[in-house]
Structure formats: structure tokens, C-alpha cells
């Protein structure tokens, strides 16, 4: 389910190749997105809802931050 989200996001992660340099290719089979939610005073925000949206398929995945403000989409 989430692999589709990551696979369709790969074009945004592609590295631009400048003229005169041989292009390289690599297949990415697994990826994750993670981060930390803080408020304006830099305090961690527990229970913040975080949503990843895959635009091509209109697919959403939602999670919540832990007690230290961390979230992860595997």
C-alpha cells in the first residue's frame, strides 16, 4: 500500500544530470519519510496528525506524532 506512494514519489527525488556527465540509474525499492513536530517555542507536539498525500493517485496515509513529536511513514 505505502510502497505505491513511495514509488510514485520517486520522480520528485530524481537527481538532475548536467550536460556532459554520463547519467546513472538506480532502483529504490524501500524508502521512508520521517520528521519531528515542534511548536513555536521548540517544544515537541504529541499526537499531531500528519498526512502524506500521493498526488497522482489521490492516496492519503495518516499517522500521529509520538510523545517526542516524531512521526514516520515506513
3-class secondary structure, 3 = helix
Kindly report, residue by residue over 19-41, the tens digit of the pLDDT. Answer: 455 566 777 767 789 999 999 99
Band (7; pLDDT cuts 50, 70, 90): low
Cα-Cα-Cα-Cα dihedral of 43, 49, 50, 53, to 10°? -160
Q: Where are the beta strands (DSSP E) in the chain?
A: 33-36, 49-54, 59-64, 70-73
Domain definitions of the chain by residue range:
1-13+38-74
Contacts of 53 (CB under 8 A, 6+ apart): 59, 60
Per-residue pLDDT tens for 41-53? 999 999 999 999 9
Residue 6 has pLDDT above 80, yes or no: no
Query: Length of the chain, please?
Result: 74
Amino acid at each position: 500500500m505505502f510502497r505505491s506512494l513511495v514509488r510514485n514519489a520517486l520522480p520528485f527525488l530524481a537527481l538532475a544530470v548536467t550536460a556532459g556527465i554520463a547519467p546513472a540509474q538506480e532502483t529504490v525499492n524501500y524508502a521512508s519519510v520521517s520528521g519531528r513536530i515542534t511548536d513555536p517555542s521548540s517544544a515537541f507536539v504529541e499526537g499531531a496528525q500528519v498526512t502524506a498525500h500521493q498526488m497522482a493517485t489521490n492516496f492519503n496515509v495518516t499517522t500521529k506524532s509520538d510523545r517526542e513529536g516524531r512521526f514516520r511513514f515506513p
